C-alpha cells in the first residue's frame, strides 16, 4: 500500500512517486491510447500525483493527460502543470509576466479538460521580470479558484527566499513547492536548496531522478552508448567523451555495481536514494513506455541502509553535480558577460 506524504504544509497528501508526462507526445510516446494506459496503470498502482507542462510537446502532453483523466478520475488526482517556455513567435507568448500567465492558464485548463489546476508552477526563473508581478498574477488565480497552489521549478536558493519575503510583505499567496533536479549524479541542491525548502516548509518534487537516463542501467563502461531522443536533442549532455560525462559514466558504473550488491536495480537505487532525503516529498518519474513504468513502481517502498548510503557518498560526494549541465538553470550573471563587466 502506498504511504502518502504531506505536500509541504498544505494538508494535501501525495504519493512519493509523481508521474511526469514529458515523454508523452511527439518527443517521446506519440500514441495517446498507450500513454493513457500508462497513466491509468500508475493511478491504479497508488500514484495520485501527475506533473506536466505547457511546453511538453507544445501542449500535447497536457491534452493527453486531460483525456486520460476524463470520466471521473480527475477528482482524485493532484494535478500539476507549468508555464514559462515560448509557445509561439510572438515575444509575449512566453515568460513570467501577468499578461502571459492569465492567458496561458486558460489554455492549460482547456487542454487538461479541468476547471482547476492543483499546482501551477513557474517553470524557470526570469530575472528581468519582477517576481512580485508573477506572484500577483498567480495570487489572483488562486482567489479565482483556477489554481490551488503556486510552485517554482529550478529556482536558486536566494530566489526561493525572495518569493517567501514577497508573499509576506506584499500580501501575495505563498509559493508552497519547489521542483529542482536531483539524482545520484546531480546532488548540488543538497547544499542550499533542500535546507531552504525545509526551513520554509516547502514541498520538494525532484525532477530527473534518473539523471536523464544516465541511471537507467544502460550507460556502462565498455557498452555502446544507447540511442536516445534526449541525446539527439542535447548531444553535449550525453557525449561520453566529454570530461564531465566521463565522470558520470564512471559513477554510473560504480553505482550499478553497488545496486547489484544490494539486490536492487540501478533504477530502484536511484529512486530510493532521492526519496530517502528528508526534504524530498516526491520523485518525478517520466516513463515513455509501460515497461519503464513497471521498472520504477515500488521504489518508494525501498529503504537504503547506512552502509549503502555511505558508499554512495564515496562515489558522488554530497552537494556535488558531476556536470554543470545538470543544474537545469544557469543565471545570466554567469551566461552573459555584460552582467560582470563595467562599460568601458
| Residues annotated catalytic, as ranges | 56
| DSSP structural state of residue 150 | E
Q: What residues contact 180, with CB distance under 8 A and at least 6 apart? A: 153, 154, 155, 189, 193, 204, 206, 207, 328
> Which residue, 26, 9, 341, 6, is CA-closest to 200?
9
What pairs with residue 150 in β-bridges? 120, 175
Cβ density class 102-132: b for 16+ within 10 Å, e for less = eebbeebbebbebebbbbbbbbbbbeebebb
Place of cell 515575444: 91
Q: Could you tell me how many helices (H) and strands (E) the chain has, helices first? A: 13, 10
Q: For residue 144, what is its C-alpha cell?
A: 479565482
> Which residue, 64, 62, 114, is CA-closest to 83?
62
> How far, in Å, are 222, 250, 257 from residue 253 at the CA level?
10, 5, 6
Please state, as a whole number, how many other Cβ atoms lie within 10 Å of the Cβ of residue 169: 9
DSSP 74-137: GGG-EEEEEE-S--SSSTTSSSS-HHHHHHHHHHHHHHHT-S-EEEEEE-S--TTS-HHHHHHH
Cβ density class 294-309: b for 16+ within 10 Å, e for less = ebbbebbebebeeebe
Q: How far is it, in rounded angstroms, from Cα 137 to Cα 158? A: 21
Q: How far is it, in rounded angstroms, from Cα 238 to Cα 212? A: 9
Please compute, for residue 229, the number of CA atoms within 13 A of its CA located in the half-sphere on the CB side.
10
Amino acid at each position: 500500500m502506498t504511504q502518502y506524504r504531506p505536500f509541504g504544509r498544505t494538508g494535501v497528501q501525495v504519493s512519493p512517486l509523481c508521474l511526469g508526462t514529458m515523454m508523452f507526445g511527439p518527443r517521446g510516446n506519440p500514441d495517446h491510447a498507450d500513454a493513457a494506459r500508462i497513466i491509468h496503470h500508475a493511478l491504479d498502482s497508488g500514484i495520485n500525483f501527475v506533473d506536466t507542462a505547457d511546453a511538453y510537446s507544445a501542449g500535447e502532453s497536457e491534452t493527453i493527460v486531460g483525456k486520460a483523466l476524463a470520466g471521473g478520475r480527475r477528482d482524485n488526482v493532484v494535478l500539476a502543470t507549468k508555464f514559462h517556455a515560448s509557445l509561439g513567435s510572438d515575444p509575449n507568448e512566453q515568460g513570467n509576466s501577468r499578461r502571459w500567465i492569465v492567458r496561458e492558464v486558460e489554455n492549460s485548463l482547456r487542454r487538461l479538460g479541468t476547471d482547476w489546476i492543483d499546482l501551477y508552477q513557474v517553470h524557470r526563473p526570469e530575472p528581468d521580470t519582477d517576481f512580485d508581478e508573477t506572484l500577483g498574477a498567480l495570487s489572483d488565480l488562486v482567489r479565482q479558484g483556477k489554481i490551488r497552489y503556486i510552485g517554482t521549478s529550478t529556482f536558486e536558493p536566494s530566489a526561493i527566499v525572495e518569493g517567501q519575503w514577497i508573499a509576506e510583505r506584499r500580501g501575495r499567496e505563498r509559493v508552497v513547492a519547489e521542483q529542482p533536479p536531483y539524482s545520484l549524479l546531480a546532488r548540488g541542491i543538497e547544499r542550499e536548496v533542500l535546507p531552504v525548502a525545509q526551513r520554509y516548509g516547502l514541498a520538494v518534487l525532484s525532477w530527473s531522478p534518473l539523471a536523464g537516463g544516465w541511471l537507467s542501467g544502460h550507460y556502462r563502461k565498455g557498452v555502446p552508448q544507447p540511442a536516445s531522443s534526449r541525446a539527439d536533442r542535447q548531444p553535449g549532455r550525453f557525449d561520453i567523451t566529454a570530461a564531465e560525462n566521463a565522470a558520470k559514466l564512471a559513477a554510473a558504473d560504480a553505482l550499478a555495481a553497488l545496486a547489484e550488491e544490494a539486490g536492487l536495480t540501478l533504477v530502484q537505487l536511484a529512486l530510493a536514494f532521492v526519496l530517502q532525503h528528508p526534504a524530498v516529498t516526491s520523485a518525478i518519474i517520466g516513463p515513455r513506455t509501460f515497461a519503464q513504468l513497471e521498472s520504477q513502481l515500488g521504489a518508494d517502498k525501498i529503504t537504503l541502509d547506512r552502509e549503502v548510503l555511505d558508499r554512495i557518498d564515496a562515489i558522488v560526494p554530497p552537494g556535488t553535480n558531476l556536470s554543470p549541465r545538470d543544474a537545469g538553470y544557469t543565471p545570466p550573471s554567469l551566461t552573459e558577460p555584460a552582467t560582470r563587466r563595467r562599460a568601458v
